[in-house]
Amino acid sequence: MSTAYLDKIIYLDLFYYIIIGIIPFILIRFSKAIKLEGILSPVVMCYLVGLAIGNLLPGTIPSSIPQTLTEGTIALAIPLILMTSDFKAFLKGAKNIILSFFLAVFIVLIFCLSGAFLFAERTDHAPEVAAMLAGVYTGGTPNMSSIKMAIGADQNIFGILNVADILLSGIYLIFLTSIGPIVFRYLLPNPKKENNFIEEEKTQKFNPHKKNKWIELGLAFLSAIIIVAVSIGISFLMYGKISEALFIILITLFGIGISFIPSIRKLNRAYEAGDYLLLIFSLALGLISDFSAIVDASSSILFFTAFVLIGSILLHVLMCRLFKIDSDTALITSAACIFGPVFIGQVVSVMKNRSMLVPGMAMGVMGYAIGSFLGILIYQILS
């Protein structure tokens, strides 16, 4: 094989990587221009566009490229998202916030375990589905993705589950951002003034005009790369290869660990960068998802997902009523568990209680921190 031919392949692959990396930016701009961001989240749009390209134009992009991107982006995104989180502030928050959050988490795990037994005859992948549902509904899509990687779940099963989650959680999001606050306040006690324990002026905001923003971005990526490299090294020392489960656990722990370093936690660009990597991940995932397999095998997984999501929401509301947790706390913790921190701002805006923004974001990130552990634990129990 000639050097010129090899160079051509390398440049072509680089072109594909650049194109995939730019598409999420274009989609974000496009959705804002036509006022679509309130209907479809960027994550959903990226996945659907990738799904369309991968299935309508098969073979356009070599499968090895999106496959590499799904693994690389999630590995960097997890520490980037976690490193700027103020876990100390979260731990000092009101006890009802913490109680409601862990009630929601515990209830999701109960429904995942029971669902695995109820749907065992309908699907051969019940343990994998239960594990990934535990991750996505205690943290978010990054957890489902990392669990998929850690347990070696089938790619098409992951794609089906992702579609089921998008459909059902999308319906719940529409509910939360419309009549949800009214319903929650009817069913649960109204929030008291002392529950507004976070002062709005303390909310950290990113300043796009800050001169050292590119330095911050570089330091954030350098920190994430070091975490990934160290985690790979430890895995090789222990097993002589990359153990995916251990790798995910290590990058999560290191991401949390360095968040306690003030200079690292102030790298505001880190979360933004991690969030963008998740968009690239979603696009790449769509490119390698087989839509025909999703259509053929979606019914049992759709029902499994509905059982976990609807059951956990209803039982969480009931438990909040028993523990006398107020409506806004119950609503924001439910949103944090199911959607992660991505939609907290949108939900808070509808609630008209901005004091819930910081604790909601904190709980969403806390879900990111523990979701992968819980999903892997569920898989170990079931298998």
Instruction: Work out the number of other CB atoms within 10 angstroms of the CB of residue 236.
Output: 12
Instruction: Work out the number of other CB atoms within 10 angstroms of the CB of residue 197.
Output: 15
The encoded tokens of residue 53 equal: 């390209």
Lowest mean pLDDT: which of 110-124, 166-180, 237-251, 285-299? Answer: 285-299
Cβ-contact 332, 341 below 8 angstroms: no
What is d(CA 69, CA 155) in angstroms, rounded to the nearest whole number? 14
What is d(CA 344, CA 340) in angstroms, rounded to the nearest whole number? 8
pLDDT exceeds cutoff 60 at 199: no
- Which of 82-86, 125-129, 214-218, 267-271 ranks highest by mean pLDDT? 125-129
Task: Give the model confidence (pLDDT) of 27-59 as tens digits.
Answer: 888 877 776 665 566 777 787 888 888 888 777
The encoded tokens of residue 81 equal: 């998202």
pLDDT for the residue numbered 36: 64
C-alpha distance across the termini of the chain, in Å: 46
Instruction: Work out the number of other CB atoms within 10 angstroms of the CB of residue 192.
Output: 10
Tell me the average pLDDT across 220-238: 92
pLDDT for the residue numbered 117: 92
| 6, amino acid identity | L
What is the DSSP code (8-state) at residue 24? H
The encoded tokens of residue 309 equal: 């999501």
Radius of gyration of the chain (CA): 21
Task: Give the model confidence (pLDDT) of 96-106 as tens digits.
Answer: 888 999 999 99
Task: Give the model confidence (pLDDT) of 187-198 as tens digits.
Answer: 998 876 544 443
**Cα 153 vs. chain centroid, distance in angstroms?**
17
Q: Phi and psi for 40 in degrees, rounded to 5?
A: -120, 130
The encoded tokens of residue 170 equal: 């999308």
List the one residue out of 231, 230, 216, 222 whose CA is nearest residue 265.
Answer: 216
What is d(CA 100, CA 92) in angstroms, rounded to the nearest whole number? 15
What is the DSSP code (8-state) at residue 354? G
Assign domain 3-192+211-382 one CATH number from 1.10.150, 3.40.50, 1.10.600, 1.20.1530.
1.20.1530
Task: Give the model confidence (pLDDT) of 86-138 as tens digits.
Answer: 766 656 656 788 899 999 999 999 999 999 999 888 877 889 999 999 999 99
- Which of 8-17, 170-179, 271-280, 324-333 ranks highest by mean pLDDT? 324-333
- pTM for this model (two decimals): 0.66
pLDDT for the residue numbered 102: 93
3-state SS class at 304: helix
**The 3-state secondary structure of 265-282, one letter per residue:** HCCCHHHHHHHHHHHHHH
What is d(CA 278, CA 185) in angstroms, rounded to the nearest whole number? 33
What is d(CA 157, CA 160) in angstroms, rounded to the nearest whole number? 5
